[in-house]
């Protein structure tokens, strides 16, 4: 019998019970605890969508008679054109540069690729407004569409590079070989197999780029290019014209949601799956041959422009400034405030992400899905809009309560970066499946002991990563900070912005430098952590 072909096809009558009733580990929890989880999850989802709600409420109250003339004017059309065309161009450039850079680093014998792999990512740790500040201080005359396209591409292409590099690293190298064996040439293979396989990663990166473009304020202000975001900011803080800011915000949110939806549609039903285990073997590296020098030159140019210019400019400005412009104790107090707000936001966002992650990973059904999606929807709401919505709310319904208070700023950060926290926390909760907790229980450990010895050790790195991610983003956040900064307080970003606006470049530079220092090291650590994730979940558990 031991040698019988596995004739285990159940006979007709042994048909399985429909799957719905099966107690998978996901659906295993019942009772009071899960109701609490559902309740908390729903509350968090509501909080995440509240700003959008306030905005719509505000628009409804202003009425169409107020909004229509504000919306249907030449300014709106030209802003729309500026925003959309720049977003499209930068997204395209980033897709090309990010994908090519990832392919060269991951799949060719590019000399020094380990160093390049680090250098190529660093620009993402430099706030976009600092990058454009660096360019502006060296080339005071740059201005307009071309400048914005160039600077933003250099600042955000790593958002495409990172996911594509990860996807290439995990892709099955045999696919390319199969394509070659089927008669496809090198270029055709690159296009039809390599790029097609990394399609979802490229799309995901492009989505992030487009969303950043729609919500960016500082860089465009410095480069003198008007988009929806700069206009909203001006209307609100300079013109005190809140109906106009509100109307434009609605259009901006609509654009972002279109981008989100568009990514979902183009993603389609196509899935990139692989049959074997992850990274079954190391991919064969393509030999660059005579292309080696031009490619190296390209990398040098990219790093020089994306990293050399902003960093060089700041270092130069700080050195040139000497003692006279060296900031006093104020930089310390600004750094302190920055760290305090960012850390509090990191804590709040991570704690809020935890129940959502638990809900979406351990429960099936519409509600957990809806909760998770509504958090990701926040990606489509620019930080400025969240800040405006919160200040409207406080002004209209709470008699200014909390407006320009630390609580509100921290809340705004936490909301804005909740999706980031969720990504990290979700990945780490997935590292601790309920099955492991059950094994712990079966080995004689109480619920508390299992929490201490199994769940927390597994989830903690991800919680820390989520915290860091939010912390970093909050440290380098400018737009919402300018709107919501508590009276009398200063952060690195607002101090930098104040000096920059007065064209005191030398005085602004140390603040930019400190922001980069605070952000760069943790970004590197984080990058390493995310790199490790897929292989860990692929082999363990």
Partner 1 sequence: MTELVVTGLNKSFGTQAVLEGVDLTVPAGSLTAILGPSGSGKTTLLRIVAGFEPADSGTVRLGERTVDGDHHERVPSEQRNIGYVPQEGSLFPHLTVAKNIGFGLARRERDGQRVDELLEMIGMSGLGRRYPHQLSGGQQQRVALARALAGRPGLILLDEPFSGLDASLRTSVRADVHALLHQTETTALLVTHDQDEALSMADHVAVIRRGTICQRDTPQGMYINPADAELARFVGEANLIPGVFAPTWVKTPFGNLMLHGALNGSARHDPDTPAVVLIRPEQVRLQPPGSVGLGLPGRVLDYRYHGHEAMIRLAPDAGPDDLVLLARAPGRIEFPPGSSVSIVIQGPVVAWPAAPDDELG
Task: Report the interface residues with partner 1, using CB under 8 A.
Answer: 1-8, 10-23, 27-28, 431, 433, 435-436, 438-446, 453-454, 457-458, 535-536, 539-541
Choose between 20 and 270: whose C-beta lies nearer to partner 1. 20
What is the C-alpha to C-alpha distance for residues 369 and 373, in angstroms, rounded to an integer?
6
Nearer to partner 1 by C-beta: 181 or 273? 273
> What CA–CA distance (Å, rounded) separates 365 from 416?
26
Least separation in angstroms between CB 423 and partner 1: 20
Q: Which is nearer to partner 1, 21 or 289 (CB)?
A: 21
Which single residue is written with the structure tokens 């399609």? 199
Q: Among all chains, which residue has been given the structure tokens 């009733």?
A: 21
Min dist CB 359 to partner 1, Å, is 19
Least distance to partner 1 from the beta carbon of 178, Å?
22
In this complex, which beta carbon is closest to partner 1, that of residue 61 or of residue 446?
446
Of 320 and 452, CB closest to partner 1: 452
Closest CB 88 distance from partner 1, rounded Å: 43
DSSP 165-209: HHHHHHS-THHHHHHHHTT--HHHHIIIIIIHHTHHHHHHHHHHH
Rounded to whole angstroms, how far apart are CA atoms 340 and 6?
A: 63
7 or 399: CB nearest partner 1:
7
Which residue in this structure is represented by tokens 């199994």?
454
Residue 413 CA to residue 340 CA, distance in Å, equals 12
Question: In terms of CB distance, is 437 or 477 closer to partner 1?
Answer: 437
Q: Are residues 235 and 220 in contact, defined by beta-carbon separation less than 8 angstroms?
A: no
Q: Are residues 486 and 405 in contact, defined by beta-carbon separation less than 8 angstroms?
A: yes
Give least dist CB 370 to partner 1, A: 20
Minimum CB separation of residue 456 from partner 1 in Å reads 10
CB nearer to partner 1: pick between 107 and 169? 169
Minimum distance of partner 1 from residue 105's CB (angstroms):
25
Q: What is the DSSP string of 134-155?
A: HHHHHSTT--HHHHHHHHHHHH
Q: Which residues of 13-33 are buried (b: 16+ CB within 10 A; e: fewer)?
A: eeeeeeeeeeeeeeeeeeeee
Is there a contact between 379 and 260 (Cβ–Cβ < 8 Å)? yes
Tokens of 495: 């101090």
Minimum distance from residue 23 beta carbon to partner 1 (Å): 5
Residue 30 or 65 with smaller CB distance to partner 1: 30
432 close to 451: Cβ distance less than 8 angstroms: no
CA-to-CA distance for 238 and 129, rounded, in angstroms?
A: 20
Residues 6 or more apart from 469 whose CB is under 8 A from it?
346, 417, 420, 421, 423, 424, 526
CA–CA distances in Å: residue 2 to residues 5, 6, 191, 361, 480: 9, 9, 48, 39, 69
The count of C-alpha atoms lying within 13 angstroms of the C-alpha of 187, restricted to the half-sphere facing its C-beta, is 0
CB of 35 to partner 1, least distance (A): 16
CB of 280 to partner 1, least distance (A): 13
Do residues 433 and 505 lie in contact, with contact meaning Cβ atoms separated by under 8 Å? no
Cβ distance to partner 1 smaller for residue 25 or 297:
25
CA distance 170 to 536: 12
Looking at the Cβ atoms of 8 and 487, the one nearer to partner 1 is 8
Nearest distance in Å: CB 10, partner 1: 4
Measured CA to CA, the distance from residue 251 to residue 244 in angstroms comes to 11
DSSP state of 16: P
- Nearer to partner 1 by Cβ, of 169 and 337: the residue is 169
Nearest distance from C-beta of residue 540 to partner 1, angstroms: 3
Give Cα 510 distance to the centre of its chain: 26
Q: What is the rounded CA–CA span in Å between residue 374 and residue 481?
A: 24
Nearer to partner 1, 10 or 488 (CB): 10
User: Encoding tokens for residue 390?
Assistant: 């919160």
Sequential DSSP letters for 289-345: GGGHHHHHHHHHHHHIIIIIHHHHHHHHHHHHHHHHH---THHHHHHHHHHHHHHHH
Question: Whole-number minimum distance, CB 508 to partner 1, in Å?
Answer: 45
């Amino acid at each position: 019998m031991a040698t019988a072909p596995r004739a285990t096809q159940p006979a007709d009558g042994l048909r399985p019970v429909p799957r719905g009733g099966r107690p998978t580990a996901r659906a295993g929890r019942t009772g009071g605890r899960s109701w609490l989880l559902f309740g908390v999850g729903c509350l968090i989802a509501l909080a995440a969508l509240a700003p959008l709600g306030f905005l719509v409420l505000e628009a409804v109250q202003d009425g169409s008679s107020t909004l229509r003339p504000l919306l249907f004017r030449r300014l709106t059309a030209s802003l729309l054109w500026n925003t959309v065309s720049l977003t499209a161009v930068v997204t395209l450039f980033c897709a090309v540069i990010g994908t090519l850079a990832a392919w060269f680093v991951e799949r060719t014998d590019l000399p020094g690729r380990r160093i390049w792999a680090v250098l190529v990512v660093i620009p993402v740790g430099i706030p976009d407004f600092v990058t454009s500040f660096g360019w502006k201080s060296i080339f005071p005359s740059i201005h307009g569409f071309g400048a914005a396209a160039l600077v933003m591409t250099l600042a955000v292409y790593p958002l495409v590079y990172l996911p594509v590099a990860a996807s290439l690293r995990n892709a099955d190298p045999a696919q390319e070989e199969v394509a070659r064996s089927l008669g496809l040439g090198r270029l055709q293979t690159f296009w039809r197999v390599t790029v097609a396989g990394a399609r979802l990663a490229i799309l995901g990166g492009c989505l992030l780029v487009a969303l950043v473009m729609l919500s960016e304020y500082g860089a465009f202000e410095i480069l003198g290019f008007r988009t929806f975001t700069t206009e909203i900011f001006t209307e609100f803080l300079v013109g005190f014209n809140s109906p106009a800011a509100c109307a434009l915000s609605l259009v901006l949110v609509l654009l972002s949601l279109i981008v989100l939806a568009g990514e979902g549609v183009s993603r389609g039903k196509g899935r990139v799956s692989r049959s074997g285990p992850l990274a079954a073997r190391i991919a064969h590296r393509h030999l660059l041959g005579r292309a080696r020098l031009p490619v190296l030159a390209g990398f040098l140019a990219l790093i020089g422009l994306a990293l050399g210019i902003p960093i060089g400019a700041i270092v130069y400005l700080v050195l040139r400034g000497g003692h006279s412009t060296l900031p006093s104790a104020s930089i310390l107090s600004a750094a302190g405030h920055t760290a305090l707000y960012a850390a509090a936001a990191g804590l709040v966002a991570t704690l809020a992400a935890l129940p959502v992650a638990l809900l979406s990973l351990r429960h099936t059904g519409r509600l957990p899905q809806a909760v998770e999606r509504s958090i990701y929807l926040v990606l489509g709401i620019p930080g400025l809009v969240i800040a405006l919505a919160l200040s409207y709310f406080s002004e209209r319904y709470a008699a200014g309560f909390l407006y320009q208070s630390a609580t509100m700023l921290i809340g705004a950060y936490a909301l804005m970066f909740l999706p980031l926290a969720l990504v990290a926390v979700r990945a780490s909760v997935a590292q601790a499946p309920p099955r492991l907790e059950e094994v712990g229980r079966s080995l004689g450990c109480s619920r508390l002991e299992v929490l201490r010895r199994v769940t927390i050790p597994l989830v903690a790195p991800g919680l820390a990563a989520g915290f860091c991610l939010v912390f970093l983003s909050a440290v380098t956040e400018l737009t919402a900070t300018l709107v919501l900064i508590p009276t009398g307080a200063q952060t690195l970003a607002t101090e930098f912005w104040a000096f920059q606006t007065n064209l005191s470049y030398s005085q602004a530079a140390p603040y930019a430098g400190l922001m980069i220092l605070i952000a760069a090291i943790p970004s590197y650590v984080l990058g390493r952590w995310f790199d490790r994730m897929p292989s860990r979940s692929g082999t363990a558990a």
